Structure 1
């Protein structure tokens, strides 16, 4: 199978927080999120206690700004969002920009909506592992599955997809329909080898 037919797209999830100082701009920020190719899978308004903030920002424990951070994050409502797209963690971090706001900083969401290093408007997970923990913290009922390895993906495609898809693409080239995507989707549904089989009517009557 030609690898070009299946570009490697790593779909990830990351956690975004619209902090208390920017919550009045939440609709505008969510519109920017969607225009940057993200899907918003989950959303909730939360009012964290200082104790919950301490748990969420546990890796900052012992730093000079830790008391101010927990006090600020528990000072008002926050909007938690689970975002998804290819390379979601890195892409969201690049859009919001560095935690520290400077006058010479390139345009990013934190410089646009934030007012200081503490009140910098938005949060983004630092890594895939951090995203998994933070999403679970904000959305406790979420099930985050591990990504399959390259070998597991290739094995699955070879076992369940490759043969049927190649047959469908061959038929597509023969028929040359006006809407190839719809035609191929319909063909795959009709020729799915793992789909339910319709029993012969006489056999059903005999079984009764």
Structure 2
């Protein structure tokens, strides 16, 4: 997309976290969405959520608010609200960098010259209608995922020792309290009782700002 940074992506060593990023199949490539999903899966990503929507001009303006005032902004909004899109939450190690590497340079014409195998070179139309979007950084991925999936928890998912440390610090103390109370109460349906208790006493409830997105 015109105006997005085109800095070189440096691949990092695999981390202990599974990172999430937002991907969008734009109106000019929506008829190729099944092919693109297949490439995504074969490239090592998991698709956690997906949603087909048709943005209004107001919603497209909100999503691209960081580009407000730039010369290309009106045509960008018109393009992104011209037809249905597919929003996907992707996950893998270093998902943001890997996805931006896979889709290639912002300008489709440049992509065909320098990265002929990237997705924008294969599915894009011109310098602005470039088929695909990818979050540029972690903070943008958080905002963009919540725009389309308001109930999502987008923090990186810990694995291995990091997961054990998280459970020990943030989950086990609450679970222990719940199990202790369960033993005292001795309810008829202990599983349902514990589930309700955990919902009521969860100290880690996310507070997510909601964005309205119109379904196609």
Both structures adopt the same fold (TM-score exceeding 0.5): yes
| TM-score, normalised via structure 2 length | 0.65
Where do residues 149-164 of structure 1 align in structure 2 (5 Å cutoff)? 153=162, 156=165
Q: CA deviation at 1:105?
A: 1.8
Work out whether 1:58 is the aligned partner of 2:68: no
Are the aligned partners of 2:15 and 2:94 in contact in 1 as well (CA < 8 Å)? no
Among 133, 140, 147, the alignment partner of 1:123 is 133
Q: Which residue of 1 aligns with 2:176?
A: none
Matches of 1:27 and 1:60, distance apart in 2: 29
Q: Which residue of 2 aligns with 1:137?
A: 147
User: How has the CA–CA distance of structure 1 residues 155 and 33 changed in structure 2, closer, same or farther, with 3 Å as cutoff?
Assistant: closer
Work out whether 1:16 is the aligned partner of 2:23: yes
Structure 2 residue matching 1:145: 3-state secondary structure: coil
Among 67, 75, 85, the alignment partner of 1:78 is 85
Matches of 1:109 and 1:67, distance apart in 2: 25
> Which of 1 and 2 has higher RCO (CA within 8 Å, sep 6+)?
2
Structure 1 residue matching 2:114: 3-state secondary structure: coil
User: How has the CA–CA distance of structure 1 residues 154 and 40 changed in structure 2, closer, same or farther, with 3 Å as cutoff?
Assistant: closer
Are the aligned partners of 2:18 and 2:156 in contact in 1 as well (CA < 8 Å)? no
Matches of 1:97 and 1:9, distance apart in 2: 26
- CA deviation map 1:33-88 (0-9, x unaligned): 00001000001101000010000001111111100000000000000000000000
Give structure 1 regions of 4+ aligned residues with deviation exceeding 6 angstroms: none
Matches of 1:73 and 1:50, distance apart in 2: 8
| TM-score, normalised via structure 1 length | 0.67
Q: Size of the alignment, in residue pairs? A: 152
User: How has the CA–CA distance of structure 1 residues 155 and 15 changed in structure 2, closer, same or farther, with 3 Å as cutoff?
Assistant: closer
User: How has the CA–CA distance of structure 1 residues 146 and 92 changed in structure 2, closer, same or farther, with 3 Å as cutoff?
Assistant: closer
RMSD: 2.4
Q: CA deviation at 1:153?
A: 3.2
Among 37, 40, 46, the alignment partner of 2:47 is 40
Q: CA deviation at 1:142?
A: 1.4
Greater Rg, structure 1 or structure 2?
1
